Amino acid sequence: MRILQVMYYTLLEYIRDKQSMAMMVLLPIGLIFLLGNALSGGFESSEVRVIDVAFLNEDKGEISKHFETFLESEEISKLLNITLVATYEEGKSLIEERRVSALIHIDEDYSKQIVMGDEAKLNLLFTQGSVFTQPIVTNIVRAFNNEANKINALMMIGASEVAHLGRNFIEEEPVVEGGEKPTAMGYYAVTMLVMILMYGSMYTSDGIGSLKEESTGKRLKVSPAKSYQIFAGVTLASLVTVFAQGVALVFFTKYVYGVNWGPNIGITLMMVFIMVLLSSSIGMAVGTLIPKRRTTEIVITTVVPVLTAIAGGYVPVGNLEGILGKLQLISPNYHMQNALFNHIFEGDPVKMLNAIMTMIGTTILMFTITLIARRRYINDSI
Amino acid sequence: MWAPEQKKKGAKKMILSMKDVVKKYDQLVAVDNVSLEVKEGEIFGLLGPNGAGKTTIINMIIGLTKINSGEVKIFGLDMKKNEKEIKKNIGIVPQEIAVFEDLTAEENVTYFGKLYGVKRKIIKKEVEEALNFVGLWDKRKIFPKKFSGGMKRRLNIACGIVHKPKLIIMDEPTVGIDAQSRNLILESVKELNKKGATVIYTSHYMEEVEAICSDIVIMDHGRIMARGSREELKALIKAEDRVVIAVEEVKNSITKKIEKLSSVIDCTEKNNEITVVSEKNSGKLGKIIDLISNEGIKIMSVEVDKPTLEKVFLTLTGRSLRD
C-alpha cells in the first residue's frame, strides 16, 4: 500500500513538473518535425531509391519464372537493381563484399511445393546494413510468396491460372510506410522516441538522488515506510511517467504527422514499455551507483546524445565497424531502434526478437547491479 | 495519539534514553559519550551553537545515522528491532524545510499522514486539524513554492504532527523566519505539549529554549556541557546580583553610602543610573531603595539584571552561541 502512496504522490509531482514535461514531450515533437523536414531529401535519394540485390533461381519451375518476370517489372525496377548469380556462394560473396544488400534465393523445389499445395518459401540473405533495405526486400518477396501460395490455393478450388502473380500486390500490401518507402519523419519519430525514452532514465536516477540528498527524501526515509517501499514507489512513478510520455509521442506523431507505427500499435506500445523498463533500470543503476545527484544528471545528459548518435539517431549510420561498431552494439538506442524498425517495416522478426531479448537481458542486468549497489547504500544508514 | 489526561495522571515514562553514545566521522567526534534522558510530557531543549552535535543526535534518534557505540532506546525499545513501531510514534520537523514543492499544502500533509499510517476514514479530519493548528487550512490548495518562509516552516510542522505522534522532534524549526512566525511556532510547540506530546527542541536561539523548554541540555563540540531546568542552569553562574536604579538626579554622594552597606560589592553611577552589585541572594534591595528615598532622590525605575542562558553558555564554553 505504501508503495502505491509513494508512487501516487511522486507521480503527481512529475506530472506537475512542466519543465521536464516540455523537454520530454514537446522537444521530441519539435525535433521530429525539424529533422523530418530538413533531412527528408537525403532519405529519399540515398536510402530508399534502388537497392542492389543478387538473385539466384534454382527452381526453373513456372512460378519462379513469374517471380523473375515480376522482378523485371517497372515497379520493382524502381526499387531493386537485380544481379543474377549462378551459385549460392557467388551471391554470398557479393554480400560479404557489400556489393549487394541482399540475396534472393529460390530453392529447386519451390514451384513443385506450391503446386503440391505445400507451404513454399523464398530464402533471403542480407548484409548488415541500413535499416531500410531489409524491410523493403523482405516485403517484396513476402508479398509475392504469399500471393503465390494464395493463388495456388485458389487454383486448387477451381481458379484457372497463376499468370496474375505479382500484379498490383504492392497496392494490396504496401512495402513500407507512406505507400512505398519510409519517410524521414517516420525515421526520426522512432529515433527521437528512443532518445527521449533514454533521457527518461533521468526520472529514476533523479528520484533516487532526491531520496539520498533532498530533505524530503530524508523525511521519507525516517517515516515508517520501508526503504524498499519508497524506492519501488519512486521507480514505478518514473516508469509510468516515461511510458505515458512515450505513448503520447507515438499517438501525436501518428495522428498529427501521419507517422506509421507499424501494423500492430499494441505491439509497438509493448515495445515502448520494454524500452521504458530498460531506461528506468539504467536510471536505477546509475542513480544508485553514483553518489551525487548532480553527477548522475551530467552523466546521463552527456551519454544519451552520444548513444543516440552512434545508433544513427540524428543521421542514419547503418552498422558501424571497429570500435564504433562495438560501441553501437552496447548502445541501448541501437537495440531499441532495431526492434522498432523491424516491427514497423515488417523486417526480420528474428532480428526484432533478438533486439527485444537484448533489452530484457540488459534490464535484468541493471536490476541486479542496482540490488547489489543498494545493499551498500542501505547499510550506510541504520 | 495525543492524550493530555494521561499526562496529568500517570507517572512520567521514559521516552528517550541515550547511554554513552559516540558518533565519529573519520577523525571528527561529532557526538562524544553523550548520555541523556527525556521523560514523557517534557519540552526538552537541546541548546548549542552550529556544529555542537545537536542534529547528529537527532539523526541518531530517528535512525538516519548509525551510532559507533552506546545505546539509544525510544519508548523503551531498540530502534533496530522495533523500527516500525517507534517510527510511527515519532514526528519529525527537520531543520531544512522538507515539503514537496509540487504538491499542495493539503497533499503534502495527507502524503505524510498516510505514510505514518493514518487510517483512510480519518485522514481528511486529521489533515484539517493539522493545517488548522498551524494556521494554513485556508491555504491548503496552494503550492508551497508560493508560501513565505514562515508559512513553509509551519507546513513543515503540520507534516510532522498530522499522525499525532507521542514524541515530536523539532530541529531548529525557526531558522530564517520573521519574529511573528517564530512566536506562532513557539506557541504551537507549547500547545502540542499541552495536548500530550513530548517535544525535543533543538535551537541555537537561547531565548527560544528559555521560553518553552522545561529541561535543557547545553552542548558544545559534541559533548554535554550542562543539564537542568532553566533555573538550575542559571544558578550555575549566579554568583552575584545586579540592580540598576534610574533616578531623577544623583546627589549627596549616594553611591558611596550604598557601597558602605554590607554585602554590596560595587556601586557606580552614570547618566542618572545607579548600578549596584551585591552578593548573591543578599536581600539588600529594600535597604538600598530606602537609602536612596531617604536622601530625597526620586526613583524612576528599578531593574534587576537576571542571568540568562546566553551568559550560562558563555561561562561554560567561553564563547557566544552565535560564534
User: Closest to A12 (Cβ–Cβ): which among B88, B90, B103?
Assistant: B103
pLDDT of residue A88: 86
- A241 Cβ partners below 8 Å, 6+ apart? A11, A14, A15, A200, A203
Rounded to an integer, what distance in angstroms lies between the CA atom of residue A154 and that of residue B96? 79
* Residue A242 contacts residue A200 (beta carbons within 8 Å): yes
- Selection from B104, B90, B76 nearest residue B18 by Cα: B76
Rounded to an integer, what distance in angstroms lies between the CA atom of residue B259 and that of residue B249? 18
Mutate to test the interface with B, among A9, A12, A227, A378 (most CBs of B within 10 A): A9
Q: What DSSP letter does each residue of A49-68 carry, written as one string? A: S-EEEEEEE---SHHHHHHH
Q: What DSSP letter does each residue of A200-243 carry, written as one string? A: THHHHHHHHHHHHHSHHHHHHHTSSS-HHHHHHHHHHHHHHHHH
* Residue A40 contacts residue A185 (beta carbons within 8 Å): yes
Cα B104 to the chain's mean position, in Å? Answer: 30
In chain A, CATH 3.40.1710.10 sits at 51-156
- SS3 (DSSP) at B221: coil
Question: Rounded to 10 degrees, what is the CA torsion of B172, B175, B178, B184?
Answer: -20
* Residue A242 contacts residue A24 (beta carbons within 8 Å): yes
pLDDT of residue B142: 95
**A51-156 domain in CATH 3.40.1710.10?**
yes
Q: What does the pLDDT profile of chain A (382 residues) look like in tens digits?
A: 889 999 999 999 999 988 888 888 898 899 888 888 777 665 554 445 578 888 888 887 777 887 788 788 777 777 788 888 888 888 888 887 878 888 888 888 877 777 776 766 777 777 765 556 776 777 777 767 766 665 555 455 443 443 343 333 333 333 233 333 567 888 889 989 999 999 999 999 988 888 888 889 889 988 998 888 998 999 999 999 999 999 999 999 999 988 888 888 999 999 999 999 999 999 999 988 888 888 998 999 899 989 888 888 887 777 777 788 888 888 888 889 888 888 887 777 888 898 899 999 999 999 999 888 877 655 444 3
- Sequence-ordered strand ranges (E) for A75-227: 80-84, 102-106, 123-126
Distance from CA of B266 to the nearest CA of A (A): 54
- B21 Cβ partners below 8 Å, 6+ apart? B31, B33, B34, B35, B57, B60, B67, B69, B70, B71, B72
Q: What does the pLDDT profile of chain B (323 residues) look like in tens digits?
A: 555 444 445 567 888 999 998 988 888 888 888 898 898 889 999 888 878 888 899 888 888 888 889 988 998 888 888 888 888 999 999 888 999 999 999 999 999 999 999 998 899 999 999 999 888 999 999 999 999 888 999 999 999 999 999 999 998 888 878 888 888 888 889 988 998 899 999 888 878 888 888 888 888 888 888 888 877 777 766 667 778 899 988 876 888 888 888 888 888 888 888 988 887 777 778 888 888 888 888 888 888 776 666 777 776 776 665 55
B115 and A13 within 8 Å at the Cβ level: the answer is: no
Q: What is the ipTM of this complex?
A: 0.74
B64 and A218 within 8 Å at the Cβ level: the answer is: yes
Cα B68 to the chain's mean position, in Å? Answer: 27
Residues of B in CB contact (< 8 Å) with A are 62-66, 79-80, 83-84, 87-88, 90, 92, 94, 96-100, 102-103, 107, 111-112, 114-117, 159
- SS3 (DSSP) at B312: helix
Sheet with A51-57, edge to edge strand ranges: A80-84, A51-57, A102-106, A123-126
Cα A359 to the chain's mean position, in Å? Answer: 11
